[in-house]
Amino acid sequence: MDAKTLRLSFPQWQGGNNPPYRLGAQLLSFLAPDATGPVEEVTVSEPTGEPLTEVEGIMAKPQLLRQLGNAQQIIDKHRPDAIVVLGGDCLVSLAPFSYLLEKYQDKLGVLWIDSHPDVQTPKQFSHAHAYVLGALLGTGDPSLVDQVSTKLLPEKVMIAGIHHPSAYERDYLEHHKIATFSPQQIKQGTDTISEWIAKEEIEFLAIHLDLDVLDPRLFRSVLFAEPEQSPHKFDGIAQGQLSIEDVLKVITAATSTTQTVGLTIAEHMPWDMLNLQKMLRALPLMT
């Protein structure tokens, strides 16, 4: 029997408090090849222009938990063999990867392609898109951790593209002995990925791709490529250093000896499309 792949459009924006991620997810769904299995869209509250409210140290926590529940209901309805998620902020991986962990147990590895490890808690940051990998590992806000019935083992994680982590992130990664693969190492070759997969006997793979791992000088549809930004707006925050070719090289190496059962593409920030959308709304006869 052919494997069933569920495709989820998940236009969540509250985890990063960035309404444009909604359009980013919609454009990913438009650009993606036609799905061969079921396609669903997770119901997400639309931006109203009103500021989000912080609850228990987390911005928009009630909305995020409700949307997490919406995603879980869709996944439970289909019980797929594999899941593709088109997001949305990085938190969109929580429910799908939790399901895959329950299904494939310790045979599942997670390749986290991101400039940031996403292991923070409300003590460090109020935006929940920075918590998702930590929650899968069983750390952080209890409301999110409780959604993960089978916790991800630290040795089953490889973070590719990470550089210049904060002091908290560096200590977390060292404490949990999580493997990392820097942009410089990636450009030199991919043996590290193959060795990790062989050592941990990984048979199935879930890939989380945060587009901000891409160099904003090469790929402009990321947060850090914001037009006309103030010169120091993103000082101290790691920005992507990889090309699309680098990312594909990593994924090709990782999938050559594993079966891919999960793929998330997150944090698509289509600046040109947003500006064009604004212009269209201002033109005569368009509204």
Tell me the C-alpha distance between 137 and 132, whole Å: 9
Which domains are seen in the chain, by residue range? 5-282 (3.40.800.10)
Instruction: Give the tens place of pLDDT for each residue, 236-249.
Output: 899 999 999 999 99
Angle CA(129)–CA(85)–CA(147) in degrees, nearest 5? 55
Q: Which pLDDT does position 232 carry in this prediction?
A: 86
pTM: 0.97
Tell me the average pLDDT across 128-134.
98
Detail the DSSP E strand segments found in the chain: 5-10, 39-41, 54-55, 58-59, 82-87, 108-113, 157-160, 179-181, 204-210, 259-266
Tell me the average pLDDT across 95-119.
98
Quickly tell me which residue has 């444009």 as its tokens: 20
Return the percentage of the chain with pLDDT > 90, whole number. Answer: 95
Q: Which two tokens stand for residue 51?
A: 């500021």
Instruction: Give the tens place of pLDDT for each residue, 133-182.
Output: 999 999 999 999 999 999 999 999 999 999 999 999 999 999 999 999 99
